Structure 1
Amino acid sequence: MKPTITIEYCPKCNWLMRAAYMAQELLTTFSDEVYGVTLQPSETPGKYSIRTNDTLIFDRKEQGRFPEIKELKQLVRDAACPAKHLGHSDSSTA
């Protein structure tokens, strides 16, 4: 079963556009590997987290920042489809 990615964001912080941009990038990169990306407005102020199914892969408060797109793609790949090569977005193994 393909995973669903959920981006939970704080609407009062005006983070919808950031979440939509990240969703677009993930859907473009993982169109065959994921079921979909869900944008979920949070009731918790300042919340911005990303999950694959029920597994938390990034939390803004824990990290103290937002993820870079390259980093986010690597996190999703590692959780959802470890064999997928991300091209120039892949982490350097050297």
Structure 2
Amino acid sequence: MEKIKITIEYCTLCQWTPRAVWLQQELLYTFNNEIEEISLRPTNGGVFKISVNEQLVWDRKEQGFPEPKKVKQAIRDLVDPERSLGHTDK
């Protein structure tokens, strides 16, 4: 399987840095063998987006703030739909 690149774009003016860092940590724990790179991209304008290989998987303006469970499932569904996420799937 090809390694993935995850980008978390977040608004610094909204003080969402801690949320972005926390989510980055959660994704690293879950997808540690699949990740080539996970980057934080500070921006402004109320943005909180998560992309995998430049494909948008979560946008706060459309879907609200993501719970780690939902983001993990969205990433899994994109890169390895057959994979079990264990307790996260329950």
Unaligned 5+ residue runs, structure 1? none
Unaligned 5+ residue runs, structure 2? none
Greater strand share, 1 or 2?
Answer: 2
Aligned to 1:80: 79
Counterpart CA distance in 2 for 1:36 and 1:81 is 17
The percentage of counterpart residues that share the same residue type is: 47
Q: Counterparts of 1:25-44 in structure 2 under 5 Å? A: 25-42=26-43, 44=44
Aligned to 1:48: 48
TM norm structure 2:
0.92
Give the number of equivalent residue pairs. Answer: 89
Counterpart CA distance in 2 for 1:6 and 1:76 is 12
RMSD: 1.1
Q: Counterparts of 1:54-73 in structure 2 under 5 Å? A: 54-63=54-63, 65-73=64-72
Structure 1 position 83, deviation (Å): 2.5
TM norm structure 1:
0.88
1:41-81 Cα shifts (integer Å, max 9, x gaps): 12x41000000011100000012x20111111101111122
Q: Partner letter of residue 46 of structure 1? A: G
Decide whether the 8 Å contact of 1:34 with 1:80 is kept in 2: no
Aligned to 1:4: 5
